[in-house]
Structure 1
Amino acid sequence: MNPTIAVLLTCHNRKDKTLQCLTNLFVQQGLNVDFKFEVFLVDDASTDGTSEAVKSQFHSVKIIKGDGNLFWNRGMRLAWETAAASKNFDYYLWLNDDTFLLTDALITMLSGANINTIVCGSTYGLSNKKATYGGYVQQKLIEPNTFLQQCDYFNGNCVLICRDVFEKIGLLDSFFHHAVGDFDYSLRAKKAGVQFYVASKYIGTCENHVSLPKWRDPKVNLSARLNNLYSATSGCYPFEFFIYDRRHNGVLLAVRRFITLHLRALFPYLWFKNLNT
């Protein structure tokens, strides 16, 4: 039998990117004509007409409505939960809506998949052709080299998870709002003995979103810096990062990072001058 895949996405007010992502998904090549995949998209209260546009152009996509407070991790969890309740899929594919697949992405991912495995796809930026997201070894982003490579943890931009892994590890942890959930899932899987690999070649493009956050920017006033630090999308929400660190790196590192995050927000000028970051 041909494998069945549930493709999981979540979105909020990125209509053009979401539509481009789906367009690239539906023109995949190299797959058997009987190959089946179903798309589960959480629209987290978009106001830009995303749902209507998706319904018009991609009739088969199953749209799940969010309340606007799900963000990436909880939105992806809802998509996954909905998919798993509808059918016993062979694979689940996490896919960010700003990740634009190459035409052979799915066949590349599937060729590295096996029982009790996770395959992580690597992306590159169009501006400089350098790796942007994927799998890491000792905090270094791996570049594809035509072979499967084991990694320590991975970004959630494009990740293929087999049914056996899902049955063992379960869903993304609902404790996390936006960031960290993908890293947490990979480390939980690693502790459970799951093997995961970086796909043999790039599977798509995604621009790097790394920039100086508002909570570390000396040009932003203190109140705005602290508000940003405690926003779900800051990437370093202190209490969530504390739980993540305590779970995977120990309580001492968790306490250290918790304090450091606040020092960076309170004294960005001093931090930049003395620590050169």
Structure 2
Amino acid sequence: MKTIAVLLTCHNRKTFTLNCLDALYKCQLPDNIAIQVFLVDDGCTDGTSEAVHEAYEKVNVIQGTGSLYWNRGMHLAWATARVAHDFDYYLWLNDDTLLSNEGIIELLSVESYANEAVLVCGAVNSSKTGEFTYGGRSLSDAEVVPNGQLQYCAKINGNVVLVSKQISNAIGLLDPIFPHAIGDYDYGLRAMTYGYKIITTRKYIGVCERNCSLPKWCYSKIPFIKRVKALYSPLGNSHPKYFFIFENRHYGLSIALKHFLSIHLRVLFPWLWKF
């Protein structure tokens, strides 16, 4: 019997979290596969933990500090799972993502067809338009849209990602230096530096709506002080400190410095950029 630790983190999205778990537990599984869920409740005040305990008593709920955000919450879930059991796979899952019935089977099939240890990135689309929302991307950040074939990627969105024990042991976990964003991109690029390939699923394996709005610090209508606070918030997506660490690690000092300056320039003069 092979085992999968499903990793989630949540903060005050009770309905999303319950719907995500409902879809997960409806997934078809091969006879030799069992799943165990590790969910970080990062300071929820909306009764998420209680609702999860009532509906899914087998879920391992881990209490966070309330300031972990996505990446550090996922790191805690992963670290807890590794201590609990020697799992064969670790599955990242966003709580706003609804897996299809065959989602896990497709992830495992892609990993098996690759005939080597690979990172498998699940492609998801919009339930409203059917268009690609999250999944694998090229080095230029272009979307790698499922076409029925195995396709290689260079970057990953962390909505649905299957990591084998071999890769987890070799690379480690998501880097907790990043609070919220960037950690998923960082992990995919780290995997490639270790010689592992990233493959996307051959079809969409779930639905997740795209967050279309840019961070507040990009908009001239937002007052300057609020733009600065938004930029340096963990939810700002390009927090200068962490984005610099990420780019310096993967693209070099000159690129990191260039974007460190351009990010602050955009905060000062957001009207110079076209959306």
TM-score by length of structure 2 reads 0.96
Amino acid at match of 1:124: N
Partner of 1:40: 38
Q: What's the CA shift for 1:35?
A: 2.6
Unaligned runs of 5+ in 2: none
Partner of 1:105: 103
Partner of 1:203: 205
The reply to whether residue 79 of structure 1 matches residue 77 of structure 2 is yes
CA distance in 2, matches of 1:175, 1:152: 21
SS at match of 2:4: strand
CA distance in 2, matches of 1:243, 1:24: 36
Partner of 1:26: 25
Q: What's the CA shift for 1:127?
A: 2.0
Which is worse superposed, 237-246 or 140-149?
Answer: 140-149
Partner of 1:244: 246
CA distance in 1, matches of 2:156, 2:214: 22
Q: What's the CA shift for 1:210?
A: 2.9
Q: Residues 28-76 of structure 1, C-alpha deviation per residue, up to 9 Å, x if partnerless? A: 12532x5311000000000000000000000100000001110000000
Q: What's the CA shift for 1:167?
A: 0.6
Partner of 2:119: 118
Q: Residues 102-122 of structure 1, C-alpha deviation per residue, up to 9 Å, x if partnerless? A: 110000101011442111000
Q: Residues 178-199 of structure 1, C-alpha deviation per residue, up to 9 Å, x if partnerless? A: 0000000000110000111001
CA distance in 1, matches of 2:50, 2:181: 27
Q: What's the CA shift for 1:268?
A: 1.1
CA distance in 2, matches of 1:147, 1:170: 29
Structure 1 residues 95-244: aligned runs within 5 Å: 95-114=93-112, 115-137=116-138, 138-244=140-246
- What is the CA RMSD across the aligned residues, in angstroms? 1.0
Partner of 1:12: 11
CA distance in 1, matches of 2:181, 2:214: 16
Q: What's the CA shift for 1:212?
A: 2.4
CA distance in 2, matches of 1:170, 1:213: 30
Partner of 1:3: 2
Amino acid at match of 2:4: I
Amino acid at match of 2:117: N
TM-score by length of structure 1 reads 0.96
Amino acid at match of 1:258: F
SS at match of 2:204: coil
SS at match of 2:235: coil
Q: 1:62 to 1:154 in 2, by over 3 A?
A: same
Partner of 1:56: 54
Q: What's the CA shift for 1:254?
A: 0.3
| Structure 1 residue corresponding to 2:86, chosen from 82, 85, 88 | 88
Q: What's the CA shift for 1:233?
A: 0.6
CA distance in 2, matches of 1:59, 1:154: 31
Q: Which runs of 4+ in 1 moved over 4 A?
A: none
SS at match of 2:149: coil
Q: 1:30 to 1:90 in 2, by over 3 A?
A: closer
What is the aligned length?
A: 271
